[in-house]
Amino acid sequence: MENAFSSDTTPKKHEVKEQKENLAKIEKKYGEQWGFCECVVANDSIDRAVKKITDFETPEAEKLLNRFDYVSKKCQAFLGMDANRTPEERQKHEKKVKRCLRG
């Protein structure tokens, strides 16, 4: 039984349509987008590498920043998704991210 404190996080038909329209706009501007797990793994890899850098004036750092820019363009569809999430949706998202990183 559903009460005022439970919520259905299944996307509604109009939300799915809106997501597809937004994806089409993003792909028109940035090109084909990667899948969720591809973005999670790529961003995690970049994050770990950045934490190891002590000198950002090296060719390696420049290469990493270029990679970040490339991944950012391929993952635009996922960048603004967290703004209006409920705590339950955030928890579900965190589990999904962990599954990607285990894979």
pLDDT for res 11? 63
Contacts of 67 (CB under 8 A, 6+ apart): 46
Residue given tokens 């005022």 in the structure block:
4
Q: Which two tokens stand for residue 8?
A: 């259905």
pLDDT for res 81? 65
Residue ranges per domain, the chain? 27-102
Rounded average pLDDT per 10-residue block, the chain, 103 residues: 44 82 94 96 96 94 96 90 78 93 87
Q: Where are the alpha helices (DSSP H) in the chain?
A: 13-30, 36-52, 59-74, 76-79, 87-102
pTM: 0.76
pLDDT for res 19? 85
CA dihedral 79, 22, 25, 80 (to 10 degrees): -10
Compute the Cα dihedral for 90, 96, 97, 98 and give only its sign. positive
